[in-house]
Structure 1
Amino acid sequence: MGLIVYWYGFICFGIVLSAMVVSLWFLLRRERGSIDIEYTTAYNSLLLSRSETLGPARLWTSCWRRLHPGWLLFTRSISFLCMAALLAWDVLTWDASIFVYYTEWTFMLVMIYFAMGIVASVYGCWEYSMESNLETCESEARDKNRDEFRQRFRVYGCFMLTIFQTSAGAVVLTDVVFWLVIVPFLSNSHLGLNTNEQLMICMHTANGGFLLLETVLNSLSFPWFRIGYFVLWTCLYVVFQWIIHACGLLTWWPYPFLELDKPCAPLWYLGIAIVHIPCYGAYAAIVKAKNSCFPNLFPYAFCQTLIKNSNMEVSVT
């Protein structure tokens, strides 16, 4: 076995297990609206939302007035293609073993979001063209077919929205760890910081840059409770590392602060668990700043509708 565990290693296990249990409890409690129609709330989910404004149309419409869905399709396609090229370059340089890093997991998650966004935008462009081409006499049948399709599209929208919110927090975490911890203080030949700095810098710039561009254009919400998915995503990666080390498939740790054979390991694990809050909060603050500042800076171009309820306030197009 490549996994050496001392008594303080079990404290690390407890920290990760506790984070998973608390996240699952919190998500099940707050996502209840996605299961029980009686408790459906506007901000919770696209799954059961009856409002057209809050429905799947958010997946392909922009927060900017009169902006054709094709612009979102264009930016999402460019983002996906550029990230795919960077990932291919990374794999060709280091082979498939590069996927032991959390950065690659997050990079793939962002790519999955953009791929799903492309599909949604393609449908949005088709619907936009149909609205301008169909005759009024066909509107009733058209609306019926469109509503039926959107009902089926809501589950897809839930996954897409969750991936967007999870990847946003994960991107902040990877970039903070890379720029503030790994680059200044560590020298690890597996990371390629000395021989391939350009590739690593491009990847840790592209993931955040393309996601910020997407955030400026889209009309998706960013509720705080979905930090639970972000925590579960990181816990899944940590458990994956434990498994491959326990099976002897890997003898070195991609990130030194994940090592279990050091007395300070619990402090590292606890610190990484806590840092999820400011990382997710930082991106939530960006979305809030967009919805707060843009209406004042661009009152005739930025479209915003506030939906209030007893728990929180959501901005949608």
Structure 2
Amino acid sequence: MFAATAVAAEILISAAACIWVIYNFPPLSHEEYASSYALRPPPRLIGRMFHLSALVFFVIIAIADIEHSHGSCFLYYTFWNFIIQTAYWIWALIDPKRMSRARCALLDVILPTCMAMTIVVWTILYPIYGKELMTLVSWTQHGGNLVLFLIEFVCSDVRFVPWNTCALVAAWSTLYAIFGWVVHSITGTWMYPFLAVDDPSAPLWYFCLLTLHLACFGIVGVLAAVKVFIADRIPMDDGSSLRLLPLRSS
């Protein structure tokens, strides 16, 4: 009973903190998302093909997961993340000028959750489920997606990651924790073993999982700072160098 009460308190505190940060410091209003991306050249053909290929691949994997699980995959945090990841690839295709602040913020949420999920699956769940995770669907959802989004992150615009976006990362994981409780109240089943609150260590599990998400967000922030550091020292060709070429006389 104590563990369940403590976990409920943790979820309420996390939800309240996320709402407070998002309300008082809206992530999309941060100057890092407010700069004009219209001045940046749109992705070249290879970039567009990368987005399209990733989208097609993700849709195929999602369909395979739904068919194999008979739809139960919708109850898992893995598939929740896979849905917003697929939505990102769609968004990237319809936002060729990179002007959408929300799409940039979504990338800053997706990448740390990808990292956290990959770590949890292969360090905590793999020893439990073993061969059940050794499938193409699982590899894609727990590692392959991280590789693709790291490529997207490296090739995307150079900017810092706003600190208040961490509230969106925490809110996303907290929302699933609440959903997990709802599912358990209806079915009597916990979707992940570490969500069960009948274990005295449950409060520590919930705290560590949230901390892991925030730590991964911090890693993304450091990687973004490294990108800015490198970009400040390597001049990037925006096409203006073409004007330095001698004009042909007619």
Q: Give the TM-score normalised by structure 1.
A: 0.68
Tell me the distance in 2 between the aligned counterparts of 1:119 and 1:211: 17
Q: For residue 24 of structure 1, what is the aligned residue in structure 2?
A: 19
Q: Give the total of aligned pairs.
A: 236
Q: 1:165 to 1:32 in 2, by over 3 A?
A: closer
Instruction: Establish whether residue 237 from structure 1 lines up as the match of residue 218 from structure 2.
Output: no
Match of 2:94 among 95, 107, 119: 119
Q: Secondary structure at the match of 1:57?
A: coil
What one-letter code is carried by the residue in structure 1 that aligns with 2:142? Answer: H
Give CA deviations for 1:182-204 in whole Å, capped at 9, x if unaligned.
113x23xxxxx424512212321
Q: Secondary structure at the match of 1:55?
A: coil
Equivalent residues of 2:28, 2:105 under 8 A apart: no
Q: 1:111 to 1:180 in 2, by over 3 A?
A: same
Tell me the distance in 2 between the aligned counterparts of 1:198 and 1:244: 26
List runs of 5+ in structure 1 lacking aligned partners.
1-5, 35-40, 47-53, 125-152, 188-192, 304-317
What one-letter code is carried by the residue in structure 2 that aligns with 1:159? Answer: A
Of Structure 1 and Structure 2, the greater helix share is in: 2
Q: For residue 55 of structure 1, what is the aligned residue in structure 2?
A: 36
Equivalent residues of 2:59, 2:86 under 8 A apart: yes
* Alignment map for 1:88-103 (pairs within 5 Å): 88-103=63-78
* Alignment map for 1:1-317 (pairs within 5 Å): 6-31=1-26, 34=29, 42-43=31-32, 45-46=33-34, 54-57=35-38, 61=40, 68-121=43-96, 124=97, 157-184=100-127, 186-187=128-129, 193-195=130-132, 197-199=134-136, 200-219=138-157, 221=159, 222-246=161-185, 248=186, 250-293=187-230, 296=233, 299-301=234-236
Equivalent residues of 1:23, 1:229 under 8 A apart: yes
Q: 1:162 to 1:301 in 2, by over 3 A?
A: closer
Q: Identity rate of aligned residues, in percent?
A: 19
Give CA deviations for 1:88-130 in whole Å, capped at 9, x if unaligned.
2222222210121111111111111111111002xx3xxxxxx
Give CA deviations for 1:189-237 in whole Å, capped at 9, x if unaligned.
xxxx424512212321221011111111110642122000000001111
Q: Alignment RMSD, CA only?
A: 2.4
